[in-house]
Amino acid sequence: MAKLNQIIAVEKGVKSKSVQELNKAHQALQKLPPLSGIARTYQPKDEEGEQLPPESTRVQVKVEDTLREIGSALSRLFDVTATKDWANCTARADVTVDGRVLLRDVPVTYLLFLEKQLKDLQGFVQRMPMLDAAESWTYDASTDVWRTEPVRTVKTKKVPRNHVKAEATEKHPAQVEVYYEDVPIGYWTTVKFSGALPARRVNELLDRVEKLQDAVKFAREEANAAEVDDRRVGETVFGYLFA
């Protein structure tokens, strides 16, 4: 008695071979000369006429023979696929994480679905925005977001000032240079808010996803190790089709 994982392992090869055989048969039936035969004899008009040997060409390809060959080639594929699909209806396993059974008696087909979905979720979590590590964040329950401590900064204004480079004389006016001085006029108090997640939380989510991924893979392997009953449907199908 085979196991489901063994059937899955050979299915691809059986399918490839059956496709090749079907294509080969299709090409053979498109060539008319091998399907045709002839037999002819020659009789001269009188006894003095030239004697010619008979000619004949045998039929090399017969459609009925080809049908039997196709039926034989495809029957194996039909049997293997049927064995796998029937087994998939009964192959089940528990999904266990950290000793806790999360899901019981999960069909192998659903385990395959879970694997794909968890792969997508892993990528989603990996791309989640995280809080800026350069800031110090605390959770604010009143706003349900993360916030920083208030930071006070000075608000300044540029005020023009005069710098006398040279005093006025009887002959020359004073030389005055204008410059601007930053003068404090007030204070900003800034608090930053963010709806992103701390790196610790993102890593925790990733850890959960990866643990469940491993558990699903183990469960799939266990389900695929189940023994299966060989199904023989190909002979019945082609016995009807090509009868």
Give the pLDDT confidence of 8-54 residue by residue, as tens digits.
Answer: 788 888 888 888 888 877 777 777 676 677 788 878 888 778 888 88
User: Measured between alpha carbons, how far is 105 from 86 in angstroms, rounded to an integer?
Assistant: 16
Q: How far is CA 164 from CA 101, 177, 208, in A?
A: 86, 6, 72
Instruction: Determine the pLDDT at residue 111.
Output: 93
Q: What is the largest CA-CA distance in the chain?
A: 157
Instruction: Determine the pLDDT at residue 1.
Output: 62
Instruction: Determine the pLDDT at residue 217.
Output: 95
User: Measured between alpha carbons, how far is 234 from 80 in angstroms, rounded to an integer?
Assistant: 9
Instruction: Determine the pLDDT at residue 178.
Output: 85
Number of H helices and E strands in the chain, helices first, is: 6, 9
C-alpha 58: how far from chain center? 53
The torsion angle over the Cα atoms of residues 149, 152, 153 and 156, rounded to 10 degrees, is: 150
Q: What is the mean pLDDT of residues 96-109?
A: 93
How much is the mean pLDDT over the chain?
87
pLDDT > 80? residue 63: no
pLDDT > 90? residue 126: yes
pLDDT > 90? residue 119: yes
User: Measured between alpha carbons, how far is 1 from 230 in angstroms, rounded to an integer?
Assistant: 7
- Those residues whose C-beta lies under 8 Å from the C-beta of residue 136, and which sit 6 or more positions away, are 148, 149
User: Measured between alpha carbons, how far is 186 from 184 in angstroms, rounded to an integer?
Assistant: 6
Spell out the alpha helix ranges (H) of 91-172: 108-126
| More confident position, 121 or 4 | 121
Lookup result for tokens 């293997």:
80
Q: In this structure, which amino acid lies at residue 121?
A: L
Contact indicator for 155, 187 with CB cutoff of 8 Å: yes
Instruction: Determine the pLDDT at residue 34.
Output: 67
Record the pTM: 0.66
| More confident position, 153 or 18 | 153
User: Measured between alpha carbons, how far is 53 from 38 in angstroms, rounded to an integer?
Assistant: 14
Q: How far is CA 51 from CA 38, 39, 93, in A?
A: 19, 16, 82
Contact indicator for 93, 70 with CB cutoff of 8 Å: no
pLDDT tens digits along 176-215 = 788 889 999 999 999 999 999 999 999 999 999 999 999 9
pLDDT > 70? residue 228: yes
Instruction: Determine the pLDDT at residue 214.
Output: 96
Q: What is the mean pLDDT of residues 220-227?
A: 87
pLDDT > 80? residue 2: no
Lowest mean pLDDT among 132-136, 206-210, 229-233: 229-233
